Every structure is written in C-alpha cells, then in structure tokens.
Amino acid sequence: MPIANLMQVSWAVHSDPGLHRSQNEDNYGARPDLGLFVVADGMGGHVGGEVASRLAVEAIQNAVDSIAMHGPDETWPIPFDRSLGLDGNRLRAGFALANRSIAERSLSEEMLRGMATTAVAVLVTGASAALAHVGDSRAYLYRANQFTRLTRDHSWVEEQVQTGMLSEMEAREHPWRHIVTKALSGGVLDVEVTELQLKEKDRLLLCSDGLTVVMPDKEISNIVATIGDPKAACDALVHHANDCGGPDNVTTLIIDINVD
C-alpha cells in the first residue's frame, strides 16, 4: 500500500559482522515506498539474536504496511495514543507486534528462549517523520552543519552518563556498555516514540551500537558531513568502525531527504 505525498528520499545501507563475530545478528529493513527504514541489533546468541532482529524488522514492516492510514478503527492492533500522530502510532503498533512475534517464537522453540533485539525505525511521510526506538541502536540528524543525536540509549551506561557518573568516553570503554535496559524481548514493552519535521537536504543516520561503541559522535559527524554519496558514507562508517577494532556487528543506514 504505497503512501501518497512521500518526501523524496535516497538511501543506502551497509551491514557487516565486524572483525570478531562469526555471524551478523543485525538486520535492517528499507521500504522507501512506505517511507520506512529500520535497523535492529539482535541479542541472545548466534541463532537467537539473528532471529529476533529479523522478526522485529519483518513485523514492523508488515504492521506499517497493513495498518489503515486513517484514524483508529477496529483494525488497529493496540490502543491509539492520542498524544501521538498517525505515523507515531503506526510505528508504536509495529513495535508492539514485533514484541509479540518474538514472544510467540520464543515459546515455540526452546533454543530461542531469551532472545531479544534492539530496534530503531523512522517513518517519513511528507515533510514529517516519526521515530521509534528500543535499546541502544541510534538515530542521528545532520542538518545545516549540525549533527544531532535523536535517540537516548536505553542502557546501563547511558543512565550513568546522564547522572554524571561516567563520561561519554568512559561509557564507550566500560565492560557493561552492552547491557541494555529495554529491548524487544517478548516481555513488557516500553517503546520511545518521537515526531519531527524534516527539511530539504536533511540526512538521517540509523545505526547499531557496533558503530557508536567505537566511534564518538564527532568522528561519525565528520564522515556524515563530508561524504555526499549515502552509500559511500555508510561504507566509510563501517570501515572506520572495523579500523577501530570492529568488536561487534555494525549496521549503518543513511536516508537523504530530497525535495526536487
């Protein structure tokens, strides 16, 4: 169900297992016909992590594609949040259905018990966007030479940074940096949804924490700002993460907003 009045976008992605993992547990989804882009970072072992992130991406895409574009009706899978717009609610429903899908699969296959995934998704419609995330996969906005982080990590180290107990550098090096406090796991879901207005020449970056645990925002910003081609920029970010040791799977997805 293509959506009318989509902002024109160009996009690219690069997903890599890194230098120390035998399997890539990251997954991503790109549906430019819907204006939907997703990055998910699986947890729970080689098998479980890949399955959880794949289920999340599929469920979010299917939900956004199938949910009615008008207001809430009997087809909506969860209660409509009146504090959010339509697209925010569509993403929120997608995350809820992803969480449900992971729960059902975990119950049906013992080897997948305990699997989970982080996820970040953006839904671009017209000149507005809805952004949803759970965990420590991130979204950034580059606009008019300003690089802004749009998401707050749901992680133990982020909580310590917010209270002043750790610096950003200490957080990236802390042995507990991979401990997330929220995830799509089949349990109680607490998804964070925000909405923003887009402008021509905006650039959005979605990424898994394989990038951000080794690269500070300033280094990420330098690449995002100076490499115009989105595919080349994604490639450069992944290559730089691997040059910094590549300890984890890394996925970078860039969306450029174009009016003409």
Sheet of 26-31: strand order equals 26-31, 36-43, 116-125, 128-134, 192-197
Residue 2 in domain: no
What is the per-residue pLDDT for 46?
62
Find the DSSP H helices in 174-248. 209-212, 217-226, 230-243
Measured CA to CA, the distance from residue 104 to residue 48 in angstroms comes to 13
What is the per-residue pLDDT for 71?
65
CB 70 within 8 A of CB 89: no
Return the DSSP state at 198: -
pLDDT tens track for 175-201: 777 778 899 999 999 999 999 999 999
What is the per-residue pLDDT for 1?
32
Residue 1 in domain: no
Measured CA to CA, the distance from residue 142 to residue 121 in angstroms comes to 17
How remote is the C-alpha of 93 from its chain's centroid?
Answer: 15
* CATH code, domain with 163: 3.60.40.10
CA distances from 118 to 91, 102, 123, 133 (A): 14, 12, 17, 8
What is the per-residue pLDDT for 2?
36
Residue 146 in domain: yes
Residue 99 in domain: yes
- The number of domains in the chain is 1
Using 50 as the pLDDT threshold, list the residues of the chain that sit under it: 1-5, 260
Residues constituting the chain: 260
Residue 182 in domain: yes
What is the per-residue pLDDT for 155?
77
Q: Which domain holds residue 195?
A: 8-258
CB 173 within 8 A of CB 213: no
Residue 3 in domain: no
Indicate yes or no: pTM above 0.85: yes
What is the per-residue pLDDT for 3?
38
Measured CA to CA, the distance from residue 5 to residue 109 in angstroms comes to 42
CA torsion sign for 6, 58, 180, 100 is positive
CB 135 within 8 A of CB 151: no
pLDDT tens track for 192-241: 999 999 999 999 999 999 999 999 999 999 999 999 999 999 999 999 99
What is the per-residue pLDDT for 258?
85
What is the per-residue pLDDT for 4?
39
